[in-house]
Chains A and B, each alone.
Chain A
Amino acid sequence: MKKKSMLMWILGIALSLTLLMAGCSNSDADASEESAGSDTTFNETGLPIVEEEITLEIAGPYDARTGSDYNNLETIKEINKDTNINIDWQLSPSSDWTSKRNLMLASGDLPDVVLKLSPSDVVVGGAQGTFLPLEDMIAKYAPNFTNFLEEYPEVRDSITAPDGHIYSIPLANMAKYKRVSGNSLWINQKWLEQVGMEMPKTTEDFKKVLEAFKAEDMNGNGDPNDEVPLAGIYGDGLHGLGFLYGSFNTLDETFIVKDDKVDFVRTSPEYKEVIKYISSLYQAGLIDQEMFTLESSDLISKLSSGDKANVGAFYGWSPDQITNPDYKWDYGSPVLALQGPEGHQVRGYLNPQLNPAVFAVTKKNQHPEATIRWIDKAFDPDMSFKLREGPNRVEQVADGKYEIVPEPEGFTAGEWRVKETPYNNFPYGSTQEMREQLDLSNLKPGVLDPDKDEWFDLQEPNLVEWVFPEILFTNEQYDGITRYQTDIMAYTDEMAAKWITGAADIEADWDTYVKNLQEMGLEDYTQIYQDGYDTYKANQQ
Chain B
Amino acid sequence: MDSLARVARSKNDKIFDFINYSILTIILLVVLYPLYLIVISSFSDPVAVNSGKVMFWPEGFTLKGYEILLENSEVWRGYLNSMLYTILSVIVNLILVIPAGYALSRKDLVGRNFFMFFSVFTMFFSGGLIPSYLLVQQLNMIDTIWAVIIPSAVSAFHLIVVRTFFQTTIPDELLEAAKMDGCSTTVFFLKIVVPLSAPIIAVMALFSAVSEWNSYFSALIYLQDQALYPLQLILRSILVASQDAATVTDGAVDPELIAEQQQYKELIKYSLIIVSSLPVLVIYPFFQRYFVKGVMIGSIKG
Contact = CB atoms under 8 A, between A and B. Distances in A.
Contacts of B181: none
B211 interface: no
A109 interface: yes
B251 A354 contact: yes
A237 interface: yes
A412 interface: yes
Interface string B36-77: 000000000011111100000000000000000000000000
Interface in A42-94: 63-65, 68, 90-94
Contact of B220 (A96, A300, A316, A354): A96
Contact of B243 (A95, A238, A305, A415): A95
Contacts of B255: 182, 237-238, 316-317
B278 interface: no
Interface of A: 2, 6, 9-10, 21, 24-25, 63-65, 68, 90-100, 103, 106-107, 109, 118-119, 171, 173, 182, 236-238, 295-298, 300-302, 304-306, 316-318, 320-322, 351, 353-356, 358, 412-415, 417-418, 423-424, 451, 470
Contacts of B236: 93, 95-96
A9 B251 CA distance: 53
Contact of A300 (B221, B234, B263): B263
Interface stretch (B11-19, B129-137, B170-178, B190-198): B129-137
B251 A321 contact: no
B252 A63 contact: no
Contacts of A119: 249
Given A103-B130, A305-B47, 10 more contacts: A63-B241, A98-B244, A99-B220, A107-B137, A297-B266, A297-B269, A300-B263, A301-B47, A353-B254, A414-B257
Contacts of B138: 24
B224 interface: yes
Contacts of A93: 233-234, 236-237, 241
Interface string B68-111: 00000000000000000000000000000000000000000000
A10 B221 contact: no
Contacts of A415: 260
B10 interface: no
B240 A95 contact: yes
7 contacts: A94-B241, A95-B244, A107-B133, A237-B253, A301-B47, A316-B255, A354-B252
Contacts of B46: 301
B252 A355 contact: yes
Nearest to B135: A21
B7 interface: no
Nearest to A237: B246
Q: Which of B142, B251, B263, B264 has the most chain A CB within a 10 Å cutoff?
A: B251
A356 B252 CA distance: 9
**Which one of A2, A301, A354 has the highest number of Cβ atoms from chain B below 10 Å of its Cβ?**
A301
A100 B129 CA distance: 11
B248 A98 contact: yes
B111 to A, nearest CB: 10
Given A95-B237, A96-B233, A6 B256 contact: no
B186 to A, nearest CB: 27
A454 B258 CA distance: 23
Task: From A302, A306, A321, name the one whose CB has the most chain B CB atoms within 10 angstroms.
Answer: A321
A470 B117 CA distance: 53
Interface string B244-288: 111111111111111111111110010000000000000000000
B297 interface: no
